[in-house]
Amino acid sequence: MFVLRLSELQQKDIVDLEGRKVGNIIDVKLDSEGKLLSFVVEVNKGGFLKFGSRKDEEYEITWDKIAKIGSDVILVRTHG
């Protein structure tokens, strides 16, 4: 069984497949059985992701967008 603590996840950079840093994990969402549904990410202030009328402070990355969890980074698909 693969186990990670939230504190360990929060130390990893969230990076898209093009190598751009997306942000940092500030929370996770779980279903009623404890299965990970998504990461809640604080978006970098550099304006990498734009969300129209949203506050542009938090972004949810669903589990299906996670490409790989590595030792230092979490690779995510930001398109498609």
- The CA distance from 20 to 32, in Å, is 33
Q: Does domain 6-76 have CATH number 2.30.30.240?
A: yes
Encode pLDDT of 29-61 as tens digits: 999 998 889 999 987 665 555 444 345 578 899
What is the residue extent of each domain of the chain? 6-76
Please report the pLDDT score of residue 64 as a whole number: 94
pLDDT at position 51: 45
CA angle 10, 42, 73 (to 5 degrees): 40
What single string gives the DSSP state of each residue in 2-47? ----HHHHHTSEEEETTS-EEEEEEEEEE-TT--EEEEEEEEPTT-
